[in-house]
Structure formats: C-alpha cells, structure tokens
Amino acid sequence: MTIRLICLDADDTLWHNMRHFRVAETALMQMLQPFADAHVASARLVACEERNLPLYGYGAKGFTLSMIETALELVGDPVPQGVIAEILAAGRALLAHPVELFDGVRETLAELAAIAPLVLVTKGDLLHQESKLAASGLGDLFSGVEIVSDKRSETFSRLFAKYGVESDQAVMAGDSMRSDVLPALAAGAYAAFIPQEGAWVHEHREEPEGAPRYARLQSLSELPGWIASLG
C-alpha cells in the first residue's frame, strides 16, 4: 500500500506538553493544601476537567478555568484572592512556556516529508497551538495544519477527503490512544501509537488487539521505517 498522507499529532508527539500541565497541577495542589489532601484535590480537578471539556474544549485556558472551579469547590466562597492570583499565574505560565522539541524531531519530519505530505492534526486553543507551531520552527515541513475541537473518526474522514486521499492511503501518528489511534483506525487509516510518560488519564484507552493497520512505536524516529514496511 502506498501512503500518500502522513498526519501527526503535536503536543507530546513533536514537543513536550503534559510536563507543563503537571507543574501547574502540582502548584494547585500546594495552593489547596490547607483545604484538601492532594489526592482529593487531584481527583476533583480531573472530574472538573471532564465536566468542562464540552464547554471549554482542550487546552491551557480551559484547564485554568477548571483549576479555578476546583478551588471554588474545595475552598468555598470566597476563595482567598491570593489563591486565584496564583492560579492565574500558573495558567499564564502554561501559555508562555517555551516549546521543547523531542530529540531528532526535525530530522524525522524531514525524512517523513520525503515520503508523503505532512499534515499537523492537533486539538486545543487555536491561538495557542498556532503560536507553539510558529515557535517550534517546524511549520515549513507541513503541507497543512488542522486545529480541531476533538478527534473523531468523522474528523479524519473529512480530513482525508479534503486532502484527496483514500483512508487506507493515510497514516496518523500520536501519543493518544483515544484521540490519535482509535479514531484514525475507525476511519480506515493506518495508525501509530507513540506513548509518552505522564499521559493525561482522559486519553487512556486499551490498545487494539490484532489490528492489522496498527503499530506501537518507541519514538517518532521509528515512524519512517514502519511506513516503509507497509509497502
């Protein structure tokens, strides 16, 4: 099978992301220490994020609002002004952190671009994702950028139609089983799972057993070889 389109996730596939959210979460746990144990506060934050995703979507801004809401639930009204100010500072830090590429990413993307056009497919806030791509210095390697509210099988079906390829001529690679692998497979594409430490629990799903179009890779650098093996 000839691959004519390679789709790639951004956060925690090309550059570090969750480590910065973990820093913000740890800061929140410390702020709320006088009011709740860390495990209680962490569980409340996860529940709040899940509840708010349909309203706020993915990204640092929605996460910041969920941190504020978690503080309101655990501390009560009024929350000390200093706590709100610290949460907002943690949110600004999430939006302003430098983009840290994984080792060898640019070289691997150049190798992949020689195989087929690359399209970045990522979730999150439009402005933030655009700014991270610009800061990464990788934009020139992509033929297209798709910033979506969520990744579902129909998302990929529309994307493949937009770029004029059949589903079995496309590959999607990323660190999320829920968002990158399973919906791409459901749309009829090939999918590569590149797990990273500290993945968000919301993105966890069981790996597909015996799926012929699926591979688990140790790093992005293995992707060109796997794609070559498909031919």
pTM of the full predicted structure? 0.91
At residue 102, the 3 state secondary structure works out as coil
pLDDT tens per residue, range 84-130: 999 999 999 999 999 999 999 999 999 999 999 999 999 988 999 99
For residue 8, pLDDT beyond 80: yes
Q: Is the pLDDT assigned to residue 231 strictly greater than 80?
A: no
The average pLDDT across 200-228 equals 90
The percentage of residues in the chain with a pLDDT greater than 70, rounded to a whole number, is 100
Return the percent helix, strand and coil in the chain, to nearest 5: 55, 15, 35
Q: Are 148 and 122 in contact (CB under 8 A)?
A: yes
Residue 166 has pLDDT above 70, yes or no: yes
CATH fold of 18-96 = DNA polymerase; domain 1 (1.10.150)
Closest CA to 146 of 168, 172, 169: 172
Residue range 17-28: average pLDDT? 94
pLDDT bucket at 200, cuts 50 / 70 / 90:
confident
What pLDDT band is residue 80 in, cutting at 50, 70 and 90?
A: confident
pLDDT for the residue 1? 66
Tokens at residue 41, please? Answer: 């506060």
Q: What is the pLDDT of residues 56-67, one digit of tens each?
A: 989 999 999 999
202 against 96, higher pLDDT: 96
Domain range summary for the chain, segments of one domain joined by +: 5-16+100-230, 18-96
CATH fit for domain 5-16+100-230, picks 3.40.50.920, 3.20.20.150, 3.40.50.10800, 3.40.50.1000: 3.40.50.1000
Are the beta carbons of 185 and 156 closer than 8 angstroms? no
User: Which residues have C-beta within 8 Å of that of residue 59, sequence separation ≥ 6?
Assistant: 123, 124, 125, 128, 129
Peptide bond into 208 cis (omega under 30): no
Which among 46, 51, 57 has a CA at the least distance from the CA of 200?
A: 46
**Continuous segment of H or E residues that includes residue 28:** helix 18-31
Q: How much is the average pLDDT of 170-191?
A: 97
